[in-house]
């Protein structure tokens, strides 16, 4: 529990919720990163630019955080290149097939009390927990 950060995580989560409400109130869209990104890959007229701007905002956000807080963001990745490739493929394929990810189903979907999103969140949490269990405690930290 030495890394327990409930306050920062709660505030960060609330900011993500506020971000989602801004996009809903002004643009009328659900702030699911999968859905927003997928719309860029299958462009429709007058429906691409806001998506690109939102996604660029995601990249700018960490710089803003560092500028405001003066903190350096810790990001430790221990995966091998092969795991990064396999993991990325599974995340891209799975979120497309399941119509959403942690933001679209997990935050926006649960926030609007969608049964589909509850089922999806249960499914991805379950397989993620089993995967980490296998990697850490069965295969012995292989990554």
* 99-128 binders of another protein (CB under 8 A): 99-117, 119-121, 123-128
Strand, coil or helix: what is 92?
Answer: helix
CA–chain centroid gap for 91, Å, is: 10
- Within 5-24, the residues that bind another protein by CB under 8 A are 5-6, 8-24
**Binder to another protein among 45, 48, 70, 137 (CB under 8 A)?**
137
- Within 21-80, the residues that bind another protein by CB under 8 A are 21-35, 37-39, 41-42, 49-51, 53-66, 68-69, 73-79
Q: How far is the CB of 8 from another protein (least distance, A)?
A: 6
Distance CA 77, CA 137 (A): 18
- The answer to whether the CB of 100 falls within 8 A of the CB of 32 is yes
Q: How far is the CB of 45 from another protein (least distance, A)?
A: 14
How many residues bind another protein, per CB under 8 A?
A: 118
- The answer to whether the CB of 131 falls within 8 A of the CB of 123 is no
Distance CA 103, CA 33 (A): 6
142 near another protein, judged by CB under 8 A = no
């Amino acid at each position: 529990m030495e890394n327990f950060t409930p306050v920062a995580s709660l505030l960060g989560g609330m900011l993500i919720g506020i971000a989602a409400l801004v996009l809903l109130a002004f643009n009328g869209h659900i702030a699911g990163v999968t859905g927003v990104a997928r719309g860029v890959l299958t462009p429709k007229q007058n429906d691409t630019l806001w998506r690109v701007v939102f996604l660029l905002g995601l990249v700018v956000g960490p710089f803003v955080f560092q500028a405001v807080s003066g903190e350096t963001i810790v990001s430790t990745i221990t995966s091998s290149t092969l795991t990064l490739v396999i993991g990325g493929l599974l995340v891209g394929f799975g979120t497309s097939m399941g119509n959403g990810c942690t933001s679209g189903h997990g935050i926006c979907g649960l926030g609007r009390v969608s049964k589909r999103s509850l089922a999806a969140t249960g499914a991805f949490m379950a397989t993620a927990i089993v995967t980490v269990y296998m990697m850490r405690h069965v295969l012995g930290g292989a990554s």
